[in-house]
Structure formats: C-alpha cells, structure tokens
A and B are shown apart, each in its own frame.
Chain A
Amino acid sequence: VSESAQHALEHVQPDQPESPTTAEVDLVKRARQGDREAFGRLTADRIEPAFRTAMAILGHEADARDATQEVFVKAWRELGALRDLHRFDAWLGSIVVNTCRSALRRRHQSRAREISVEAMAEGLGLPQDRSGPDFADQSAELDLLERAFDRLVPDDRVLLVMHHMDHRPVALIASSLGIPEGTAKSRLHTARRRLGAAIEVERQ
C-alpha cells in the first residue's frame, strides 16, 4: 500500500473527545469503587447535556427526564464494566442514545402499526418534486420540520440528532450504535431523505 493510500485511510478517523482531566479520571475510579459522592460530582455537569440530547430525540419533557434518569442510574450500575477510564464520556454518550432509542421503540411498539414515512408518501401519491416554495416564516418552517421529525422511526431520529445536533463524526455514531461506519453513513443519508418525505406528508 502506497504511503498516500495509507494516509487516506488513516485520515478517516473520528474526532476524539477532549481527554478527561486527571481529577475526572480519579472521580471515575472512585465512583467505580462505589463512591456515590464522586459519581455525583462526575455527572453533575453532564446531566443537562444528556437531557438536551434526550429532548431532541424524544421531544417530550417527561420522557426526556425519565430517559435521563435511566441513563445515569444505568451508568452508575454498570460503571464496573467501563474498563478504559478515559472513555467515560464516549461510554456515557452511547448509553444516552441507546436509552433514548429504546424509549422511542417502546413508544412505537405501543402503536398498532408503524408506518414508514416513505411508504406513506408513496401511498398518498405525493409529488416527487420537493423544490416547493420557500418558507417565509422561519418559525413555521421549523415547526413543520419538527412535525416531520416526529414522524421518523427511532433510529432515524437518533442518527440525525447525533450528527446534526451533537456533531458527532460518523465513526463515533457507528461506534455508539454498534454498526459499521458504512451502514451508519448510508442510514444517515436515508434518514435525511425520510425527513424530506415526511415534510411532504406534513404539507398536505
């Protein structure tokens, strides 16, 4: 393999979160040994970001609060499974998205039937031309976009939040969801297409 080819491969790498401080690693160590006070200090500044991510994915305050609580209880319970203390944030991030995903799936499973947005659009014979008129009112546009977002299946929502709100690179998204990078990238693209189809449905 040529040097340039190897260079190309090596540059496909996820951004790494900022390295934790020694004090933070020490808190992780102490929390792993059952120190609840250390766990409280470690997580105090991480609760609101987790809640905001949950809000973006779930869209309902009560659900987001429940999910956030579940995230941190789970993190406390399973902290012994974290072997690399420096990766606490990445590990916690995976718990956040997977907990929200499970919460959404539970909500979806309570429905009689889950209908794919694309199938719905196709079934309704919606026009394929998505150019449409520009929106004059930005707030109305965001409302429409949000209603469309609420039509998406759990995995699509999680992918869009991780990529567009949390700005995680595809490699980290793939790692968080436990799927290959290629699959994550194609599903991200699909999620955006589904969002577009959902907007067409909302416009009717």
Chain B
Amino acid sequence: MNDDGLIPDGRIAGMLSRRAARGDVSGLEAQIQGAVLEAPQRTGPFGWLRPPPGRGVHFATIGVMALAAAVIIGAVGIVLISGAPSPGLGPWSPTPTPDPTPNITPRASTSAEIHLPRPWTTLGPGRHVAGTFWPDLRLTTEDTWLSEPGSDMFFSVVPANDANVRAVRSAGFPVTFVDVFRNISVAAADCTDAAEPGVGPTATDIVGALAVRPGLIVTEPIAVTIGGLRGEMVDLELDPDSGGRCPAVENPYVPLIYAPDFLTWGVEPGEKWRIVVIDVAPLPPDMFATVMIVIWSSDEAAWDDHLAVSMPLLETFEFTVTPPAP
C-alpha cells in the first residue's frame, strides 16, 4: 500500500490487464454479426423522440405533420439550414453547409459537417449556438463562460468565476455549472439502472414526479417559459433527515434523473439543484420530447451567485424546433 493507504496505480493496472487478457474472443465477431442480422435498427430520428407510454408511432401521421411543419418552418423564415451566416454568433458556432434544398430534418442530420466546439471552449460575451444540440439552441452570454463537449442531447456551460477557479485548482473540477439535456427520465427510486415506471413523458409529468420523490426538499413546481417553450421548474436538495441511500453510493443519495446508456444522476449532501423541464413543440401527434436544464452547485454558499448568473443566461435561450422527417 502507499502511505495514503491506497493500492498503487501500477498494481491495479497490472491486475486489470492480466484479468482482461483472459478469455477467448474467437468466434465472437461472427456471433455478433448473427445477432445484428436479426436486430431491427431504430430508424433515423424516431429513435430519440419518445412516444407516450403504451402508444405506437404512426409513421403516416408523422409524414403529414412533417410536411406541415416544413410549411410552418418556411413561413417563419428559419435560415439556419440554408447556411446563411448569422451575424453576432460566437466563435464556436457551427458553420452549416450551404444547401439550397429545403430540408425539414433536424440540423443534426448534417452533423458530419459541423465543427464541434473544443472542450472547455471559452464563450465570451455574445451570441452562441449550442453545437449539435437538438432542438437548436442559441444563447447570449454577458459574462465569460466555458463550454464542455456537447452532443445532440447534451450541452453544458460553466461560469468562469473565481469560485470555479479555486475549485479547479484544488480538486480539478468546477463547483457550479448549467447542463442542458434532451429526453431525460426520472430515475427509478429503488436505485436500479432504469427510469421510474409510470411517469409520463411531458414536462409536467417529470417535474411532478421529482417534486414528490422521497428524501428531498423540493419547492412547489412553477410554470416557466424558456426560449419560447413551456415547462415547469423546481428547486431541490437532499433532506438531511431522510437517510436516502443507494447500495453503490457511499454517501446519502437520492436518484433523480436517468437516460439509458447516458445518464444516471442523483442528489448528494450539500448539493443544490434547480431543474427546469420544458416540452419541445411543435412535434407530430403522439410524439413528445423534453429539454431538461439543470442548474447545479456542490457548494451551498455559491448557490445564490450561481443562480444570479444562470437565470439571466436561461432568459436568453432561443429554441428552434425542426420536427423530424418521416
């Protein structure tokens, strides 16, 4: 053991490498190919839009709605997909490929041409586009923020303030940030790696389920409109008297939000959360999508200041919803 009581890194690495080297991989590729042959692939954008529980996706209806949406989008003059430059965009704004053909698919369909922001890119004062996030999100910063790597379903910004600088220097990570997710479920209360059963797909459903989760101190949900989309918002923290725990987590812990193969996250002592969930609209009938914004701090003392810069940032959010193509 090291002086600090920990197993040296090299020994752990050696043990794991030896363990990993065991086992015969032969035949596995053919086995996987066989399984893939039998597996249907979720098609295009429908894989990440969620029908309400117990209801199927009606492709014919979606086709009609997509056509209608194209008309709507054309009418409001969205220039994003046309590739026209947008004055005032920040340095990490993607440059859409010019395409004279009208296109109603989400912009992410051209993601191969989009230059993602580098991790921890500085966002100076100005207007920015949130990478490949869907629905398209633009925001305006007055102060300096940093952005973390994003994807079509995740985007994060960190205030470049002294508290985060101290935290980065001492522990290597910030104490405050704002995360934006798409289609996040309420995590199962029993700590299993799953969504809580019985929770509906809308913002009201999700916030309502969070508001009654045992082990938390939660404010009453209030209605909000962010970037033109409507939803609800709550503040929450761990109830120190609850004793909520999960087997794999050492500290008191209450599971909160979940997305398969992407996210499992819960509340720990001392953390402050503001969660805003908004419904993405307009979408075809029977389709739901939500955006969840998490304003988070691990330091109660930093919470008020964090809110003071985060809420004005949210007020600058502008969403553009481009419904999926059939």
- Give residues in A with beta carbon < 8 Å to B: 1, 5-6, 8-14, 16, 25, 29, 34, 36, 39-40, 43-44, 47-48, 51-53, 55-56, 59, 61, 64-65, 68-69, 72-74, 76-81, 83-87, 94-95, 98-99, 101-102, 105, 108-109, 114, 116, 118, 130-132, 141-142, 145-146, 149, 153-156, 160-161, 164-165, 170-171, 175, 177-183, 185, 187, 190, 192-193, 195-196, 199
Please measure, in the bound complex, the distance between the C-alpha atom of A201 and the C-alpha atom of B7, giving whole angstroms.
Answer: 14
Are B261 and A94 in contact, CB atoms less than 8 angstroms apart?
Answer: yes
14 A-B pairs in the complex with CB atoms less than 8 angstroms apart: A1-B160, A9-B120, A9-B146, A13-B119, A52-B21, A55-B23, A61-B23, A73-B39, A78-B261, A80-B48, A95-B261, A154-B248, A177-B264, A182-B173
Name the residue on B nearest A109 (C-beta): B192
Q: Which of B52-86 contact A (CB under 8 A)?
A: none
A64 to chain B, nearest CB (A): 6
Please measure, in the bound complex, the distance between the C-alpha atom of A131 and the C-alpha atom of B3, giving whole angstroms.
Answer: 8
Are B44 and A80 in contact, CB atoms less than 8 angstroms apart?
Answer: yes
Please measure, in the bound complex, the distance between the C-alpha atom of A104 and the C-alpha atom of B64, giving whole angstroms.
Answer: 45
Are A182 and B298 in contact, CB atoms less than 8 angstroms apart?
Answer: yes
Name the residue on A nearest B10 (C-beta): A164
Are A78 and B42 in contact, CB atoms less than 8 angstroms apart?
Answer: yes
Name the residue on B nearest A60 (C-beta): B23
- A61-B24, A81-B42, A192-B7 are known; give 6 further A-B pairs, CB within 8 A: A1-B162, A69-B28, A69-B35, A80-B46, A145-B7, A182-B175
Known contacts A6-B160, A85-B112, A179-B265; is-contact A130 B11 (Cβ 8 Å):
no
Q: Which of B114-133 contact A (CB under 8 A)?
A: 114, 116, 118-120, 122, 132
Contacts of B146 in A (CB 8 A): 6, 9-10
B50 to chain A, nearest CB (A): 11
- Give residues in B with beta carbon < 8 Å to A: 1, 5-7, 9, 11-25, 28-29, 31-33, 35-37, 39-48, 106, 108, 111-112, 114, 116, 118-120, 122, 132, 134, 144, 146, 148-149, 151-153, 158, 160-162, 164-165, 167-169, 171-175, 177, 192-193, 247-250, 259-265, 268, 296, 298
Please measure, in the bound complex, the distance between the C-alpha atom of A108 and the C-alpha atom of B148, giving whole angstroms.
Answer: 34
Name the residue on A nearest B193 (C-beta): A102
Please measure, in the bound complex, the distance between the C-alpha atom of A168 and the C-alpha atom of B106, giving whole angstroms.
Answer: 32
Are A80 and B262 in contact, CB atoms less than 8 angstroms apart?
Answer: no
B20 to chain A, nearest CB (A): 4
Are A178 and B262 in contact, CB atoms less than 8 angstroms apart?
Answer: yes
Known contacts A73-B32, A102-B193; is-contact A180 B42 (Cβ 8 Å):
no
Q: What 9 pairs across the A-B complex have the smallest Cβ distances? A: A83-B152, A178-B263, A181-B173, A83-B108, A61-B23, A56-B20, A165-B16, A5-B165, A13-B119
